[in-house]
Every structure is written in structure tokens, then in C-alpha cells.
């Protein structure tokens, strides 16, 4: 999992709105990064099949992760609705990063 987290930090955290100009996370101890928290599950989903259509992966993420997220209430996610879920916001980059690590294109 370390190789995926390292690649995510380089390719996602560096562009995240919750990071400083140097790519350092600015979330407080009271906040959790959804990308890092759910990374093992996302990697498992990406490894479960291959598709160039990110919406297929995203559908499974909604079923297996979003449905159990504390931000999800009665089928509505306040983080998603406010465009404040990092997992949702950067999902295509996350999938691409995982796939590049698997192909040996990223360390």
C-alpha cells in the first residue's frame, strides 16, 4: 500500500485544494482525507476489473465506500454536494495513479 500512497501524495496531494503551495496537507487533526483513509478500498476496487471508463469505478466506489461514509445521510452526501470530497473531486487522477503504479510507470 505504501507505493500507492507515495504516488498519491505526489500526484493528487500536490494538486489538492487542501494542500499548501508545497503540496503539504493543510487538514487539521479533526479532519480526515478521504483519499488516504479509503485508499486500500479504492485500490481493491481498481484491481477488481479494468475499464477506461472512470464512471464504472466511480459507481462501485459509491456502492462500497460512499454508502458507508459518515458524510452520507439518507442518500445525500454534503461533502459531494459542496464539491468538498477529495475522493470524489480527484477520482480520475486517483484511478490513473493506481494504474500507473501497477504498470511500473510510477514508484
Residue percentage of the chain with pLDDT more than 90: 50
Question: Could you give the CA distance from residue 98 to residue 10 in angstroms, rounded to a whole number?
Answer: 12
Q: Give the predicted TM-score (pTM) of the model.
A: 0.87
Q: Give the rounded distance of the alpha carbon of 103 from its chain centre.
A: 19
Query: What whole-number distance in Å separates Cα of residue 102 and Cα of residue 25?
Result: 25
What is the phi-psi region of residue 85: left when phi exceeds 0, alpha when psi lies from -120 to 50, beta otherwise? Answer: beta
- pLDDT tens digits for range 39-54: 999 999 999 999 989 8
Encode pLDDT of 51-76 as tens digits.
Answer: 989 889 989 998 999 888 877 677 67
Phi, psi of 17 (to 5 degrees): -70, -15
Domain ranges of the chain: 2-102
Amino acid at each position: 500500500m505504501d507505493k500507492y500512497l507515495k504516488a498519491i501524495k505526489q500526484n493528487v496531494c500536490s494538486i489538492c485544494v487542501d494542500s499548501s503551495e508545497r503540496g503539504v496537507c493543510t487538514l487539521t487533526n479533526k479532519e480526515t482525507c478521504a483519499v488516504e483513509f479509503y485508499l486500500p478500498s479504492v485500490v481493491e476496487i481498481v484491481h477488481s476489473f479494468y475499464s477506461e471508463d472512470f464512471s464504472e469505478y466511480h459507481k462501485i466506489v459509491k456502492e462500497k465506500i460512499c454508502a458507508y461514509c459518515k458524510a452520507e445521510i439518507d442518500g445525500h452526501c454534503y461533502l459531494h454536494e459542496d464539491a468538498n470530497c477529495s475522493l470524489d473531486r480527484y477520482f480520475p487522477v486517483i484511478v490513473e495513479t493506481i494504474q500507473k503504479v501497477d504498470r511500473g510507470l510510477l514508484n
